[in-house]
Amino acid sequence: MSNNTLPMTIIGGGIGGLAAALGAADAGHKVAVLEQAPEFGEIGAGIQLAPNAMAILDRFNLLGELDKYAVYPQRLVLKDAYTGEELSALDLGDAFKERYGYSYTVMHRTDLHKVLLEACERNDDITLLTNHMITDIQRGPDSVTISCDNGKTYEADSLIGADGLWSESRKQIIDDEAICSEYVAYRGAIPMEEISEHADFDDVIMWIGPHLHLVQYPIRRKELYNQVAVFRSFNYTKEIEHTDQWGTPEELDEHFGRCVPEVQNAVTFMQRQRRWPLYDREPLEKWAEGNFTLLGDSAHPMLQYLAQGACQALEDADSLTNQLKENNSVEDAFQAYQQERVARANKVQKTARTWGDILHTDNDIATLTRDAYMKERDAQDFEIVDWLYGHFVNSTDKTTVNK
């Protein structure tokens, strides 16, 4: 690699970009990762990794390192934020692990990113470059010209856009806009000793109510308690979308002030200096073109209601690795990767939207129907998540989850 030439290049050094780098290197390619920030890192707090993600992290031999930080909850629990009633649960114990092959895992995003980054740093076929914000991409039949705001220009063999929700590289495929859901999230991970006696350290809990929910679970070896409060802002308008005039801390208190005391108390611990507006985009049928493709949130940014954003980026990296190994050219590999992944990722995107509508409904009939269904299902009835968590389970297995 000379000063102005790069091998296969990945734009974006987040979870998806680093996993893709590991996969491409495993497939025999030299890889460069361009990150716009001064250093590689992640923001946010907790992350949920379902078995479909853990299978890929196992492929990259990272489970031992992840275990140093991970928490393995016993249940996924749904509760009514107004009454405190438990509506439903999913048992994550032995039957779950036997069915899907891996534990459901929660951890701090920065810990997962650190494990991926250190694996990339150990790999001589991966070059990591910071302070490289992309300003222009020009694609040719045999190479891609990449211009950066630091004045550097490179010729790359091929390019993978993994630069997230606000992706610049996505414009190579479509010049669309991110769609504001009118919901915002407030996040916070606080020391365990600061948590009230009502906190549950063994479960992932989601409290739900009209236009709101609160998620809670322990992370980092149960040293921290992660909380995410989400609500719809009724002050939102298109004119103020990109300001901080909607989804304010005052709205946060107003929404959750009507909830049970456990939820009200939890929200007092939220960090209020920053909120995250929640966006997705319309699903795409095309991610790849010639020597260029998209990956992760650049290809399929989704709402958080299935906790599958990072999981789907890891599935992308897995598929891309396989196709780079099985095809003679990068162009063919990118096309095969697109063919394999588009329908699956689009289904997850659309289902995340639907699940958000179900969780947040304010319709009395819909609420009664939802709650009645939830209360009737057994905690070890996994059919509702088979299609999602069982993606890598052999379809001939008795669980037949790869439907």
Cα-Cα-Cα-Cα torsion 350, 354, 360, 363, nearest 10 degrees, comes to 150
Amino acid identity at 221: R
Q: From start to end of 273-390, where are the E strands?
A: 276-280, 292-294
pLDDT at 399: 32
Q: From start to end of 247-328, where are the E strands?
A: 276-280, 292-294
**Which phi and psi angles does 186 have, rounded to 5°?**
-115, 135
Residue 293 pairs in a beta bridge with 160
Q: Are the CB atoms for 225 and 215 separated by under 8 Å?
A: no
pLDDT at 400: 31
User: Rounded to whole angstroms, what are the CA distances from 379 to 75, 87, 88, 130, 138?
Assistant: 9, 11, 7, 46, 52
Q: Are the CB atoms for 226 and 45 separated by under 8 Å?
A: yes
Write out the chain's pLDDT in tens, 403 residues. 556 899 999 999 999 999 999 999 999 999 999 999 888 887 778 999 999 999 999 999 999 999 999 999 999 999 999 999 999 999 999 999 999 999 999 999 999 999 999 999 999 999 999 999 999 999 998 899 999 999 999 999 999 999 999 999 999 999 999 999 999 999 988 888 877 565 668 999 999 999 999 999 999 999 999 999 999 999 999 999 999 999 999 999 999 999 999 999 999 988 899 999 999 999 999 999 999 999 999 999 999 999 999 999 999 999 999 999 999 999 999 999 999 999 999 999 999 999 999 999 999 999 999 999 999 999 999 999 999 999 887 543 333 333 3
pLDDT at 199: 63
pLDDT at 3: 65
- The pTM score is 0.94
- Judged by DSSP in three states, 330 sits in helix
Q: Walk me through the domains of the chain, giving residue ranges and CATH numbers.
A: 5-177+281-390 (3.50.50.60)
How remote is the C-alpha of 142 from its chain's centroid?
32
How remote is the C-alpha of 308 from its chain's centroid?
5
Amino acid identity at 248: T
pLDDT at 396: 36
- Judged by DSSP in three states, 362 sits in coil
Closest CA to 307 of 104, 59, 161: 104
Q: Print burial letters for 75-106: b (CB count within 10 Å at least 16), e (below 16).
A: bbbbbbbeeeeebbbbebeeebeebbbbbbbb
Residue 93 pairs in a beta bridge with none
Looking at residue 193, the DSSP 8-state letter turns out to be G
